[in-house]
Amino acid sequence: MGRSLTFTQTQGKFHTMTQEISRRKLVTGTAWAAPAVLASVTTPALAASNADDGPCLDSIESYAIHKRDRRKVSADWQSPNKYYEEVTVPAYARYLRFVIAGGSGGTAHTGQWWSNSYRPPWWSPGPEDFSDYSGGKGGGGSIVEGIVKVKPGQIIKLHAGVGGIAYYDKPAIGGEGYSNGGDSSVLPESVIAPEDREKMNNPVYNHVVIYSGSGGGSSALLLSDPADPSKESLIAVAGGGGGSGARGMASLPYNPQDEDYADTSRYKKPAVWATDDGKRRSYNRQNTKPPLAADGGYTSNVNKAVDGEDGMEVYELNPSATVTVHSGKTAESNNTSGGAGAPVGELVSARGLAFSSTPDMHIRTSNVPGVQGEGGEKGRGADGVAAYGYAFSTTDHATSQRNVSGYIVSGGGGGGYSGGGSGGAIVVGAQTFDPDQHQYYDVSAGATAGGGGGGGNYVASDVIDVSIYTESSRTNRGWRTDGYIEYSFCPSDSEIIWGEEVLT
């Protein structure tokens, strides 16, 4: 039979008492009081052995303690800034149990992403919930759980990352974190060639300008010695999710007043992409028929890097005419190499559909690969890349009826131990024509972009009881799903047992 110090609470005060009890006890009631209260209690410094670690290393007891006494830190969802906090390990603690979640990637879709069992109180579904196909879903932030041994007086440094965001019609900055998510923010003036700027900015032409989702910021936990706080030990990093891709189109008929425009010839059909048939959503991956909006990458529930989902379009003119845009790669866990950027996409034309200049149209098609995420301990997610294209009349520059352009920026990668790669971007200038009659008709500029890959995770070798999975990305256009950190302390059996004793 061993001796132990046990603290019980009576009328708001702590009292010490000793009692002959077993080394193994059931811990009930409140797990521990707050560190501020414990600091005022004088306890003997008893050496702990692995045999005395008791509930700290028992997965069931440890989780029960964590569930009762966990504390949570997170960023303010109204702020784009990460949350940082330092906590001193209290005198009684020998182990720290933690749950770290990275920020999710931004979502460009405006539909309702929540299940019937979860719906934020501020959410009011609108008529567009089931009919918007302008973008995909951001990747969920990673969640890393584990237990690590700590010493009283050590400083715990907590970095809670911010989720990415998407606005569709304006730039999106990546979520801040231990490492930041990539942006989807390249401005047109930094990409468009000088000779194209006047037409691309002409207010009477039909333009579409689109931004995808930015990547989520990573969350992290570090330990440092109070004698030298600058010397840090990285314990764990939870990567941020990749930002979603987006899609859109500017299109115009060759001549709306043409009496032959109603002709049923397939060559006179609009040079536009097919839309959804209304029976399914474009992000439903169980049905792989296009259109498919590109999603951001993440880490799966079996700690596997899941790359962003590719986007795919099909033309109404001919289902064999397709455009496929690729998403960025998710970084592998405990790997200092960033996720690869998306490769260039694939364009498949069809008879009666031109992707390059015709006798009466100057057509530009742009197909840009993504960028690799940053490597290293604080790997920033790669920024989205930009593409632009157009179909401008070579004979009639004064009207908007035959001039269209598109500009799009792809999804940013999630921040992490190494950053996720960014998606590719494609703008396709197109015109329908009758190859037999040599007649040219409708024009369009279709823009589509891939999502970013998720950021990588990290877990130190001395962390035990490790689990890595992904956070459910319950987000929407214009909203962030931020990361967070939950933690709790655990004493050893030979030191202090909080709550009611059970004698054996």
β-sheet bridge partners, residue 100 = 144, 485
pLDDT digits (tens, 9 = 90+) for 449-504: 999 999 999 999 999 989 998 876 656 888 899 999 999 998 765 444 444 333 33
pLDDT of res. 64 = 66
Residue 67 lies in a domain: no
Residue 435 lies in a domain: yes
pLDDT of res. 499 = 42
The low-confidence residues of the chain, meaning pLDDT below 70, are 1-68, 77-80, 111-132, 254-269, 276-288, 301-302, 396-401, 472-475, 492-504
β-sheet bridge partners, residue 223 = 156, 233
pLDDT of res. 65 = 65
Q: What are the DSSP calls for 89-153, one per residue?
A: PPTT--EEEEEEEPPPPP----S----TT---TT----TTTTT--SB--PPPPEEEEEEEE--TT
Residue 367 lies in a domain: yes
DSSP state of 199: H
Residue 140 lies in a domain: no
Residue 467 lies in a domain: no
What's the chain's length in residues?
504
Alpha-carbon gap, residue 136 to 295, rounded angstroms: 5
**Angle value at C-alpha 474, between 470 and 475, nearest 5 degrees:** 120
Domain count, the chain: 1
How far is CA 284 from each of CA 94, 292, 474, rounded to the nearest angstrom? 47, 8, 16
Alpha-carbon gap, residue 80 to 76, rounded angstroms: 8
Residue 479 lies in a domain: no
Residue 16 lies in a domain: no
Q: Determine contact, residues 130/173, Cβ cutoff 8 Å.
A: no
Residue 491 lies in a domain: no
pTM here is 0.81
Question: Domain range for residue 436?
Answer: 186-214+245-458
pLDDT digits (tens, 9 = 90+) for 401-431: 678 999 999 999 999 999 999 999 999 999 9
pLDDT of res. 434 = 82
pLDDT of res. 115 = 36
Could you tell me the sign of the dihedral formed by the alpha carbons of 156, 157, 159, 160, in that order? positive
